[in-house]
Amino acid sequence: MSDYVLELRGITKTFPGVKALDQVHFQLKPGEIHALMGENGAGKSTFIKIITGVHFPDEGEIFVNGQKTEIKNPKDAQRLGIAAIYQHVTCFPDLSVTENIFMGHEKITKRTKRILWGDMHAEAKKLLQELGASFDPRTKMGALSVAQQQIVEIAKALSTDARIIIMDEPTAALTARESEELYKIAEKLRDNGASIIFISHRFEDMYRLASKVTVFRDAKYIGSWGISDISNEDLIVAMVGREITQLFPKKAAKAGEELLRVEGLGKTGFFADVSFSVHRGEIVGLTGLVGAGRTEVCQAVFGITSFDTGQVYLKGKAIKVKNPLQAMELGIGYLPEDRQKQGLVLEWGIERNITLPALGKLSRKGWIQEKREAELAHALAEKVQVKARSIFDLASSLSGGNQQKVVVAKLLTADLDIIILDEPTKGVDVGAKSAIYEIISDLASQGYGVIMISSEMPEVIGMSDRVVVMREGRVTASLDGATVTQEAILEAAMVNSAIPEAATAHSSASETLST
């Protein structure tokens, strides 16, 4: 018997103009949770596709249970007991949970080829119960939360008798409580003999679950270590190729005139009596538990939704923004939390995404001046350090961190005073985080007023001049960024307060901030 349930040796994969994997190695032991880490673009996605049969390597060898094998297609991978669970769940939302679990390997009668719905529903229910889920397998997938859909994907893997399970950023869209539930499921799978490759940007995932970590950088294998054998600092150096001496490069900026003031803002069912201000050159961190109403307040300020009570003042003048276009004309920009659905047109090139808000400026007699458009896009892409071969590359081809930079560049095409950033580093690696923090700091030093919505306390503390904490739709504290602590934020975020029922309808009191 081999010591490894899966082993890859010298795997190389080249696409036109790009070497996606260059002589990488990987070893997975039976019953092991092995973390795979690296910056976006390090080769992790191609690595997954090699193992699952989506791509075939140009060079190298793959061994499963000590036997050399070729994985030519996904069916081969399934036959070998390999399954992958992705960050963005690939499901059929209008079909039932049972149909999603057994898609492609339905239970049918041998003679009539009739689908055995009763057997499939029963098996699906059993798989869900083993994973601690209580929802009905006849439920449509589209009606489930992201966390529940992840459980269905795991059940689907188990239905194919998978013993090697790849989890690709499974916690990226989950709350802290949902992540903890996923951790317990992963540990249960491990204890039952499954081997798990856990890909994540979050160090807390690695420390919580894995016994070993492998790092890829620039398509190459950098090394493998036991979790207790490598320090956080050395792991970051392995991932990004340099020491990040200052993860939060906050530049000293003197707060200037008041740009935005929110007074007593309220929207029935979402938030009530919210007040705060933002000055020129200032970064205001807006934080609190998931469901505290932070995003809803900023969307109301930006004109995506409306508010019922209160007033917004821009440079001392009362305004009520009716739509996002009007907000941008007034000098307010907004970077949404979901960059892929709300911030980008993924099938457009980088240049068209960046210049989308500025078509009026770039047009003459109704025709877009393409040379000016390309010059503007190139200048802004360079300003925020987008890594791409060309500004004409599709937005969908970029890593998460570079997609985020494109959305920031898109904001800078307009003449703005206020920039609202909703979870600006969500789902990006540590190197991209550092670059985005530098961009945010530069924006403040240039005189923009920045509102940064974040659930990550280290970045809130490291980047904010002031921290506004919300709980169940209300502001519970406004803290000085120079002296703020995690304890002070948590105390304000979890304080019990008498809040009208209508204001708590969208709250999630059981969630915790990411530390």
Tens-place pLDDT, residues 157-183: 899 889 999 999 888 767 777 888 889
CA dihedral 342, 348, 349, 352 (to 10 degrees): -70
Report yes or no: 130 and 137 within 8 Å, Cβ to Cβ.
no
Report yes or no: 35 and 212 within 8 Å, Cβ to Cβ.
yes
* 6-240 and 258-331+416-515 share one fold: yes
Q: What is the reported pLDDT for 291?
A: 73
Among positive and negative, which fits the CA dihedral 251, 256, 257, 262?
positive
| Phi, psi torsion values for 445, nearest 5 degrees | -65, -25
CA dihedral 293, 297, 299, 302 (to 10 degrees): -170
| Residues with Cβ within 8 Å of residue 378, at least 6 apart in sequence | 351, 391
CA dihedral 334, 338, 343, 347 (to 10 degrees): 180
Helical spans, DSSP H, in 412-485: 430-445, 457-463
Q: What is the reported pLDDT for 428?
A: 73
Report yes or no: 224 and 62 within 8 Å, Cβ to Cβ.
no
Identify the CA nearest to 404 among candidates 469, 350, 482, 476: 350
Q: What is the reported pLDDT for 88?
A: 72
Report yes or no: 6 and 52 within 8 Å, Cβ to Cβ.
no
Q: What is the reported pLDDT for 499?
A: 38
Report yes or no: 194 and 81 within 8 Å, Cβ to Cβ.
no
Distances (CA, A) of 468 to 80, 131, 249, 322, 476: 52, 38, 21, 25, 8
- CATH T-level topology, domain 258-331+416-515: Rossmann fold (3.40.50)
Q: What is the reported pLDDT for 132?
A: 86
Distances (CA, A) of 511 to 75, 364, 502: 39, 51, 19
Report yes or no: 513 and 489 within 8 Å, Cβ to Cβ.
yes
- Residue 298 burial (CB < 10 Å; 0-12/13-18/19+)? buried
Give CA–CA dist 301/307, Å, rounded: 8
Q: What is the reported pLDDT for 503?
A: 39
Sketch the domain layout of the chain as residue ranges.
6-240, 258-331+416-515, 342-414
Q: What is the reported pLDDT for 512?
A: 46
| Phi, psi torsion values for 496, nearest 5 degrees | -80, 130
pTM over 0.75: no
| Residues with Cβ within 8 Å of residue 346, at least 6 apart in sequence | 340, 394, 395, 396
Give CA–CA dist 454/337, Å, rounded: 10
**CATH number for region 6-240:** 3.40.50.300
Give CA–CA dist 152/492, Å, rounded: 36
Per-residue pLDDT of the chain (515 residues; tens, 9 = 90+): 679 999 999 999 998 767 889 999 999 999 999 999 987 678 898 999 999 999 999 999 999 999 999 999 999 999 999 999 887 777 899 999 999 999 988 999 888 889 999 999 999 999 999 888 889 999 999 998 888 888 998 999 899 889 999 999 888 767 777 888 889 999 999 999 999 999 988 888 899 999 999 999 889 999 999 999 998 888 888 887 765 556 676 666 677 899 999 999 999 989 999 999 999 999 999 998 767 899 999 999 999 999 999 999 999 999 989 999 899 899 999 988 887 788 889 899 999 999 988 888 888 888 988 898 899 999 988 888 888 888 899 998 887 778 888 988 888 888 889 999 998 887 777 777 788 888 889 889 989 999 999 988 888 888 999 999 998 899 999 998 778 888 888 888 876 543 333 333 333 333 445 55
